[in-house]
Structure formats: structure tokens, C-alpha cells
Structure 1
């Protein structure tokens, strides 16, 4: 397996929507995303406008995972991997790429929503990488974690 990384392009959006429903934990189907106003078209537009900068991990031509942030707020909006690429540094790499990009835009504080259940993989993943709880919950009931530079 040779994973390559690159900035996301609008043409990645459809594959990102599909992959989001194939994650081990916190999978969100294409229909659920569409109900929230997220489609391949809106995602592609966000990439094209630079509003949602992101990075993708590819195994050959296959999308293995990705991470997107929000240009204006410094939020890490989504990090998703196919299960077979977990625990191999792929998620950490795309997260670091997105975080570095947001930092370069001037953000000194990044934030994201994370499961409150310690049994969920993301709970330990982000904390291991230095993200800290703010003590707040977002509208989805997820714990808000932050990373400060």
C-alpha cells in the first residue's frame, strides 16, 4: 500500500460523500448528508470557493480518507477514513495537513466536535494528538475540542 496525499479538488466531492457512509464509526449516509444540505454539488462548490480546504489520502486511485476544515472559522469539519486504513497514520496525516493549512491562514485556535463516549475511537485519537476539551457541547451534542498554536 502506497498512500499519496494532495489537496482536495472539486472532483473529489462525490467520492467523499460516498466514503462518509462507509466509515466504521459515525457513518453518515448520502441521504442523511443530503437532508443536511450536503451533496456532492455543494461539497464541490465549497472546495472550489476555498471555503472548505481539505486534503485527501489516495491508495492508487482509491480514496482512502480525507480531512476538511472551514477557512473562516478554523473548524475541522470532517475527518473520515475507510476502516482498512485506520491505525496507519492516514487520519493523522490528513488532519495535520488541514490543520497546517488553517494555521497558515492565521488561525491560532482550531476546533472540532468529537464524541463524548471514551469507547469511540475519535475520543482518544484527538486527545492523543494534543486536542483539549473546551467543556462545551455543540448543537449535535458532541464535545468541542480545541487545538491552540
Structure 2
């Protein structure tokens, strides 16, 4: 049975930060996020203000994964899952909900930064879902992928 997905709220951000440090690939600790300017206060403020909408999946009282997007630009900012929930369609479901939400805000061109290393799970994941390389790099050195309307 699929896990329930609901909109993220400011109170969810501490669990999001914790989960981000426990992902299989590309885990980022709370201290490293803070160095990048991503804190509980900044992230929850962006969620509260509608700048950074998100969706989360819960397995009982435990967060299993989430996806957040930038309401202004159409960027998928982060998709993160606990390792035990990988390979079950949860990442695809979270991403689809965020894509629908950003499309509902009027974005036709959606984009994200992704590793260009084929050994990383994200490399094949996004490409199988129709995301295509643009030839650009983001500020973190990741390859920029785009999803255009069908």
C-alpha cells in the first residue's frame, strides 16, 4: 500500500533536515546545510511564505521522504528518501506531486541539478522519467536537467 503524501509545513522542517543527512547518496548533514545557509529557520520560513512548497510521505509517525520545489523558478530543489524506502515508487510519486504543483503555478519548464555520474541512482532515475540534460551546470557543479511539457 502506498504511503500517504501530504503538503509539507514549517513544523516538518526539523525532520526534513534530519532525513537529508541519512540518505544513501548525497547525504548532507545539518551542519553542512547550515554552512550553505539552509537552516531550520530559513527553510521553514520559505515554506511558510509559499516560496518553497513541498510534499512529504509518512510511514506512520516517521518521515520516509520529501520533495520541495521553488515556486518562483520552477526548480525541483530537493528530493530525498530514507534508504529503506528506495525502489518502491515513492520518489517517483513525490516528484510527480511536486511537478503537478509547480505546473499548477504556471511553470512549463521545470529544472533541477543532478549528478552526471551514471553510477549515481539519481542519474538514471530522472532520465527514465523524461528529464533531459541542458548542457548547463548549476552553482554546485551538478548537471542541469529540464522537464518540458508533453
TM-score range, shorter chain: over 0.9
What RMSD over aligned residues (CA atoms) do the two structures have, in Å?
0.9
Q: Would you identify which runs of 4 or more consecutive aligned residues in structure 1 move more than 4 Å?
A: none
Number of aligned residue pairs: 149
Aligned-residue offset at 1:2: 5.4
The 2-side partners of 1:121 and 1:13 are apart by: 24
The 1-side partners of 2:135 and 2:25 are apart by: 23
Match of 1:101 in 2: 101
Instruction: Please give the TM-score of this superposition, normalised by the length of structure 1.
Output: 0.98
The 2-side partners of 1:104 and 1:85 are apart by: 27
CA deviation profile, 1:30-80 (whole Å, cap 9, x unmatched): 000001111111111111000001000100110000000000000000000
Match of 1:118 in 2: 118
Match of 1:82 in 2: 82
Unaligned runs of 5+ in 2: none
Unaligned runs of 5+ in 1: none
